[in-house]
């Protein structure tokens, strides 16, 4: 795929699941990776997977100190930001605590806004026609039981993506989102089996997705092949959203 070689690509939540698959895909495309995640031990694991062109930032995207560290790395250059880090804290409305609500807002929405602000400022000031890519979810389109907090953030990410694309288009910065369906990662393994089975039944392709299938959409949207695409959300969900 054209145009990703030697690009500086920041990926949040890169130590597992979709983030790790996305890191792998961009690495194969020749990108320089700046991988952001929380666990301290991940650096060794990541060094084995990505022996060169990789920097690991042990950072929590909701913490001020971490954001300062990420800013320091962005000041050396950024071409692509993948706002992938996301969490669930599920409970139905009468059981959900303020803490559960706030945690999900902070990671899935506020950090996306903050990192987009930081990345786009660098891109604008340095004439970089970069790409910002955000993790939405298929549930933003139709809601999901027990996830008022999570679904609200994912719907907000779609609106934020549209708005940022309008604000940043004049600088040549593109902003897009990917809305995954149910993908085989830790996040989905925590869900009740019957819910996942029900979703598989509803999807025209009748199966759960692979993290690599989401990574492919991010790689496409970051590439020159997507140079006229901005403000959109691509559903990568086996057709689930139709159901
Ligand atoms: N798996 C799915 O079916 C699915 C569906 C729709 C959307 N998504 C979205 O895709 C993204 C990735 O999902 P996943 O399934 O790979 O999740 P995952 O739980 O497998 O991995 C998420 C990663 O993000 C990291 N992370 C969490 N909070 C962080 C923080 N504050 N700072 C830094 N890193 C943090 C975790 O440590 C973890 O490595 C999320 O935004 C999720 O909402 C996933």
Cα(123)–Cα(154) distance, integer angstroms: 25
209 lines ligand 1 (CB under 6 A): no
135 lines ligand 1 (CB under 6 A): yes
Instruction: Tell me the β-bridge partners of 175.
Output: 132
Residue 170 Cα to ligand 1 midpoint, Å, equals 31
Cα(114)–Cα(68) distance, integer angstroms: 11
Q: CA nearest 112: which of 78, 172, 158, 47? A: 158
> What are the residue numbers of the active site?
150
Residue 88 Cα to ligand 1 midpoint, Å, equals 8
Cα(174)–Cα(163) distance, integer angstroms: 11
Three-class secondary structure assignment of the chain:
CCCCCCCEEEEECCCCHHHHHHHHHHHHCCCEEEEEECCCCHHHHHHHHCCCCEEEEECCCCCHHHHHHHHHHHCCCCCEEEECCCCCCCCCCCCCCHHHHHHHHHHHHHHHHHHHHHHHHHHHHCCCCCEEEEECCCHHHHCCCCCHHHHHHHHHHHHHHHHHHHHHHHHCCEEEEEEECCECCHHHHCCCHHHHHHHHHHCCCCCCECHHHHHHHHHHHHCHHHCCCCCCEEEECCCHHHC
187 lines ligand 1 (CB under 6 A): yes
Cα(199)–Cα(202) distance, integer angstroms: 5
Domain boundaries, the chain: 8-236
Cα(192)–Cα(224) distance, integer angstroms: 40
pLDDT at 193: 87
Residue 176 near residue 133, CB atoms below 8 Å: yes
Which CATH code of 3.30.365.10, 2.60.120.200, 3.40.50.720, 3.60.70.12 fits the domain covering 8-236? 3.40.50.720
For every one of its 243 residues, what pLDDT tens digit does the chain have, with 9 covering 90 and above?
678 999 999 999 999 999 999 999 999 999 999 999 998 877 789 999 999 999 999 999 999 999 999 999 999 999 999 999 999 999 999 999 999 999 999 999 999 999 999 999 999 999 999 999 999 999 999 999 999 999 999 999 999 999 999 999 999 999 999 999 999 998 888 888 888 888 888 899 999 999 999 999 999 999 999 999 999 999 999 999 986
For the entire predicted model, the pTM comes to 0.97
pLDDT at 227: 97
Residue 79 near residue 131, CB atoms below 8 Å: yes
Tokens of 131: 């790409």
Tokens of 207: 């199966």
180 lines ligand 1 (CB under 6 A): yes
């Amino acid at each position: 795929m054209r145009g990703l070689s030697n690009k500086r690509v920041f990926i949040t939540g890169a130590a597992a699941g979709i983030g790790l698959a996305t890191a792998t895909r961009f690495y194969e495309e020749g990108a320089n990776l700046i991988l952001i995640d929380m666990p301290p031990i991940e650096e060794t694991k990541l060094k084995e997977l990505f022996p060169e062109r990789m920097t690991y930032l042990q950072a929590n995207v909701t913490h001020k100190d971490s954001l300062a560290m990420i800013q320091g790395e962005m000041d050396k250059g950024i071409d692509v930001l993948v706002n992938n880090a996301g969490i669930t804290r599920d409970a139905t409305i009468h059981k959900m605590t303020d803490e559960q609500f706030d945690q999900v807002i902070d990671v899935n929405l506020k950090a996306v806004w903050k990192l987009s602000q930081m990345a786009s400022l660098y891109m604008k000031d340095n004439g970089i026609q970069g790409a910002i890519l955000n993790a939405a979810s298929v549930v933003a389109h139709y809601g999901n039981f027990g996830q008022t907090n999570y679904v609200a953030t994912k719907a907000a990410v779609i609106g934020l993506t549209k708005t940022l694309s309008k604000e940043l288009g004049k600088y040549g910065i593109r902003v897009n989102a990917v809305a995954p369906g149910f993908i085989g990662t830790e996040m989905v393994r925590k869900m009740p089996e019957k819910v996942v089975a029900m979703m598989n039944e509803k999807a025209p392709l009748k199966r759960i997705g692979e993290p690599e299938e989401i990574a492919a959409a991010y790689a496409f949207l970051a590439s020159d092949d997507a140079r006229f695409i901005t403000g959109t959300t691509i559903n990568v969900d086996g057709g689930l959203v139709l159901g």
